Structure 1
Amino acid sequence: MDFSIIQYSKFMTLLDMLLHNLRTLRMSLKDNIKWLGEVMAEIGPTHSQKSEEWNIFDVKQANAIIDYLKISLFQHYKLYEFLFYSTREEIVIGTEQVIEVVKPAGHPFPDPLEEGMSFDIYSTFIERPPTLDTEIKGLDQEQGPEESQTETDTSDMDALVGFTIEDVKSLLGQVTNDILIGIQTEINEKLQIQEEAFNARIEKLKKA
C-alpha cells in the first residue's frame, strides 16, 4: 500500500490493540469486530478533531486494512483464542542416558563388544590376561622339550611342600598384624584430626 512511516506506525498500533483486546480483555469475535468498526469509522476528513490520529488513512486504505484483518486475524480467531487461553503441556526435549559400569572380570557379566570401544581401552581395561596354559604353550615353543618337561613337573608339585601348619599360621599372623597396624595408624590419624577440629570449635565458642 506504500504506507508512510506514520501510517505504518498507526497500522502496527491497530494490530497491537486488536491482539490486546483478544489476549487481555478477552473480547469475543463479535465485540472485536465492533471495536474495529468504531475505530475505522472515525477515518475521514469531516470527523471531529478527537479522532485526528486516525485521519491519516483514506477510505481505500481503510478498506484494504479491513480486508487484511478479515483474512488474517478474524478468519483464525478461534486459533488465536486457543493460543492465548488454553494451557498446554510443556514438552521437555531431552534424552536420559544410563551408564552401566562394567563389572570385574570375575563377576558373571558379559564382556562388552570389542568393536564398541577403541583398542587401547579394550586392551588396557577389558582384555583378560593370558591364561597359564597359553604361557606354557608359548614357553614350549621357545624352550626345548626337556626344559618344558622339567617346568611342567615342577608346576605339578605342591607349593606348600616343606612347610608345616605352624609355619603357615605364623606367616598369616604376621601378614594380618602388618595390615591391622596400618589400618589402626590411619584411624588414629583421622581421630586426631577430628579431635583438633572439635577443640578449635570449642575454643571459638568459649571466646564468643
Structure 2
Amino acid sequence: MPISAARKRGKKKEADPDEEAIDKEPSGSFAWKILVPSQVRILSQCPTPEDLEEKMSGILSLASHALDLKEASQLDVFVVSFHWAKEQGFDERQLSGFITLLHNVLENIKSDMGKAANFQYVKECFSGVGSDNPDLVSIPLYFFKLEHAKLIIKYLISTIFQHYSLFHYLYYQQQDELIIGTDMKLESCPIGSSPYPVPLQEALPLDVYEEHFIESEPEV
C-alpha cells in the first residue's frame, strides 16, 4: 500500500471547534445554546448596526422581520441587547449565555407566563453564581460574576419587564393586515380610438391621424 494512502486512511477527521466547546460545557449551562462560538465571533466583528442586524436575523432564522412585526421586534431586542452586552465587556461565553437567557425570557412570554413567574425564573437562573463547582451544581450562568448578574437583571427590568404587557400584546395580538399590505388602484390609458388620442408611444404623425381617424363633418 502506498505510504500516502496509508496516511490518509490513518488521518482522523478534524473536530469541529464549536462542537468541542459545547461538549466541554457543564450540564445545564446556558452557553452555546442559541449562539455557538463561531456565531458569537461573527456578530462581535460586525462593523455597523445594520450589519449586526443582518447577521443576527440569519442566525436566528428571522427571515420575515421586514414584514412580520413580531419577528422585527424580537430581532430589535436581540440586536440592541447583544450590543449592550458587548459594551459591558462580556466574553464570548458570557455573550452566548446572556442571549440564551434573553431568548428564554421571551419564550416564557410567548407561553403566557406571568411577569412575576418570569422574573422569578431569571433570579433562579442566577442562583449559585460564584460557585467554584458548576459541574457538581447545575448553574446555568456560572460564568458570570455577581456584579454581572446585577447589571443583567437591571437591564432586563428596564427593557423587558417594564414593558411586559406590550410584549405580551405583541405575541398574542393578530397583526393588522393594513400594516403589511396596501391595495393600489391603477388606471390605464383608454384604447386609441376616436375621439381619444392614442398613447404617445403608439402615436401616428398628425397628418396620418387627421386623414384616417378624424371623422370629417358632412357637407351641407
Normalized against structure 1, the TM-score is what?
A: 0.51
Q: Is the 8 A contact 2:126 2:140 kept in 1?
A: no
Provide the rounded CA distance (Å) in 2 between the counterparts of 1:44 and 1:125. Answer: 94
Provide the rounded CA distance (Å) in 2 between the counterparts of 1:119 and 1:97. Answer: 19
Q: Is the 8 A contact 2:129 2:145 kept in 1?
A: yes
Runs of 4+ in 1 over 6 A off after TM superposition: 130-133
- Out of 169, 190, 193, which is 1:101 matched to? 190
Between Structure 1 and Structure 2, whose CA radius of gyration is higher?
Answer: 1
Q: Counterpart of 1:29?
A: 115
Deviations 1:90-134 (Å, cap 9, x if unpaired)?
Answer: 1212423132523632xxxx535x9xx53861537994327779x
Q: Counterpart of 1:73?
A: 160
Q: 2:128 matched to 1:42?
A: yes
Q: Counterpart of 1:10?
A: 97
The number of residues matched between the two structures is: 127
Q: Is the 8 A contact 2:125 2:140 kept in 1?
A: no
Q: 2:151 matched to 1:64?
A: yes
Q: Which runs of 5+ in 2 are unaligned?
A: 1-87
Q: What pairs with 1:170-189 in structure 2 (closer than 5 Å)?
A: none
CA 1:3–1:94: 2 relative to 1, 3 Å: same
Task: Give the deviation of 1:73 after TM superposition.
Answer: 0.8
Provide the rounded CA distance (Å) in 2 between the counterparts of 1:86 and 1:127. Answer: 61
User: Percent identical across equivalent pairs?
Assistant: 24
Q: Counterpart of 2:65?
A: none
**Paired amino acid for 2:160:** L
Provide the rounded CA distance (Å) in 1 between the counterparts of 2:216 and 2:89. Answer: 91
What value does the CA root-mean-square deviation take over the aligned residues? 3.4
Q: Counterpart of 1:51?
A: 138
CA 1:84–1:132: 2 relative to 1, 3 Å: closer
Secondary structure at 1:75's aligned position in 2?
helix
Q: 2:107 matched to 1:20?
A: yes
Q: Counterpart of 1:118?
A: 200
The structure where helix makes up a greater share of residues is 1
Q: 2:172 matched to 1:85?
A: yes
Normalized against structure 2, the TM-score is what?
A: 0.48
**Paired amino acid for 1:111:** Y
